[in-house]
């Protein structure tokens, strides 16, 4: 696996025309992934393929054990929510690359597109660990956590809801 960031290697394979980077609705002063039209439940919002990195950064999504992918412009602006409207699907390829797809888990219209960081990350970066969550959802955890930092009941809830990325979906 490559170490460090590979800004010029990764490419966006697909972007839904209704998903753009704009001012975040939930996190004041930051950018977010905004749905400008309608994205249907089950529809792919974006798909991004690039080289697997061995180190986690705030610009990566975990795709496997010690395997991370820098997810490009759309991915780096997709914020966290404890009540997400999208989930991440991951696939590792034999050539040392991986693909991350962001998929709607309900119909999305004229709102910010978010996923739950605990559904991909075993642990979050030190800078994000225990950061205050600003999602405002009824089931907000109050802070941002990695999967291993969640209670067993919360892990099972995420699994039952079908929100876990492939490398976390078979936890025991």
Note whether residue 31 is domain-resident: yes
pLDDT tens for residues 105-118?
Answer: 999 999 999 999 99
Query: Which residues span the domain enclosing 98?
Result: 11-160
pLDDT of residue 112: 97
Alpha-carbon distances, residue 159 vs 66, 84, 105 (angstroms)? 21, 14, 13
Note whether residue 5 is domain-resident: no
pLDDT of residue 8: 45
In sequence order, what are the beta bridge partners of 38?
Answer: 109
Q: How many domains does the chain have?
A: 1
Note whether residue 3 is domain-resident: no
Note whether residue 165 is domain-resident: no
Note whether residue 16 is domain-resident: yes
Cα 102 to Cα 122: distance, rounded to the nearest angstrom: 18
Per-residue tokens: 34: 């905004």
Classified as helix, coil or strand, 150 is: coil
Chunk the chain into consecutive blocks of 10 residues (it has 172) and report each block's average pLDDT, rounded to whole numbers: 45 85 90 97 96 92 95 93 97 94 97 97 85 90 93 94 91 59
pLDDT of residue 28: 85
Per-residue tokens: 74: 């759309």
Dihedral pair phi/psi, residue 134, rounded to 5°: -115, 20
pLDDT of residue 97: 95
pLDDT of residue 143: 92
User: For residue 20, with 0-12 CB atoms within 10 Å meaning exposed, 13-18 middle and 19 or more buried, which class applies?
Assistant: middle
Q: Give the number of other CB atoms < 10 A from CB of residue 21.
A: 14
Q: Which CATH number covers residue 80?
A: 2.170.270.10
Note whether residue 172 is domain-resident: no
Note whether residue 171 is domain-resident: no
Cα end-to-end distance, the chain, whole Å: 27
Cα 10 to Cα 102: distance, rounded to the nearest angstrom: 16
């Amino acid at each position: 696996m490559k170490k460090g960031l590979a800004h010029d290697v990764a490419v966006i394979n697909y972007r839904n025309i209704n998903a753009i980077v704009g001012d975040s609705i939930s996190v004041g002063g930051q950018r977010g992934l905004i749905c400008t039209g309608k994205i249907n439940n089950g529809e792919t919002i974006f798909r991004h393929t690039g080289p697997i990195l061995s180190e986690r950064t705030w610009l990566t999504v975990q795709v496997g054990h010690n395997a991370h992918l820098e997810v490009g412009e759309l991915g780096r602006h997709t914020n966290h929510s404890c009540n997400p409207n999208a989930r991440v699907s991951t696939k590792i390829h034999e050539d040392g690359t991986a693909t991350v797809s962001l998929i709607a888990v309900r119909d999305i219209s004229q709102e910010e597109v978010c996923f739950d960081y605990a559904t991909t990350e075993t642990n979050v970066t030190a800078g994000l660990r225990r950061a205050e969550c600003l999602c405002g959802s009824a089931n907000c955890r109050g802070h941002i956590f990695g999967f291993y930092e969640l209670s067993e009941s919360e892990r099972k809830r995420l699994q039952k809801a079908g929100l876990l990325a492939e490398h976390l979906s078979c936890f025991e």
